[in-house]
Amino acid sequence: MIWHLQGQAAMNDKIVCNASPLIFLAQLGRLHLLNELFKETLVPDSAWDEAVRKPDVISKTLNKMKTSGDLHVITVKNRTAVSAMIGRLHIGEVEVIVGASELGIQNVILDDGYARNKAKQMGLNVTGTLGILIASRHKGIITDIDTEIDNLMSYGFRIDKAIVDQVRNLFRN
């Protein structure tokens, strides 16, 4: 299954996260799931800048998490690798992949399909916003996956309907 952690990212693992999962989880009021699922959530500078660029509730919530130590912003050092990967991938996605590799972290949160494929090619374990919701449902942290998916999609999250149907069916059995 492509949409959940499959035991690859244990709750005591660190994870490197891109901007879009942070934004979507904040919109859902579910940023706390990161702390409940992972030992430490790291966000590269460029992904952080994208997530907090608007002075809104999302940036306020993310800044609170950073101040409280629930989320850590990192600086990716290998600028050559970052520059080489820029193109189809955005800077935040590239920094997630390069940053995870630099720190020896195997787990990343990316929503963009191309970025997810590139991260997998680099040997990383990949999940996304939907995967976080699914893992949280598996662990009993959230109970109504259908409502979570509906809310997520109402915020503009795009995903193939067949995957959504599979996820919904997964929890109906």
Structure confidence at residue 88 as a pLDDT band (50, 70, 90)? confident
What's the rounded mean pLDDT across residues 87-102? 95
Q: Residue 132: pLDDT band by 50, 70, 90 thresholds? A: very high
pLDDT band per the 50, 70, 90 thresholds, residue 170: confident
Q: What pLDDT band is residue 172 in, cutting at 50, 70 and 90? A: confident
Answer yes or no: is pLDDT of 6 > 60: no
Higher pLDDT, 164 or 2: 164
Where residue 12 falls among pLDDT bands split at 50, 70, 90? low
With helix as H, strand as E and coil as C, how does the chain read? CCCCCCCCCCCCCEEEECHHHHHHHHHHCCCHHHHHHCCEEEEEHHHHHHHCCCCCHHHHHHHHHHHHCCCEEECCCCHHHHHHHECCECHHHHHHHHHHHHHCCCEEECCCHHHHHHHHHCCCEEECHHHHHHHHHHCCCCCCHHHHHHHHHHCCCCCCHHHHHHHHHHCCC
In this structure, which topology does domain 14-170 adopt according to CATH?
Rossmann fold (3.40.50)
The pLDDT of residue 168 is above 60: yes
Give the mean model confidence (pLDDT) for residues 127-150.
Answer: 95
For the chain, the structural domain boundaries read: 14-170
The string of pLDDT tens digits covering residues 98-122 is 999 999 999 999 999 999 999 999 9
For the stretch 29-42, pLDDT in tens is 999 999 999 999 99
The pLDDT value given to residue 7? 44
3: pLDDT strictly greater than 50: no
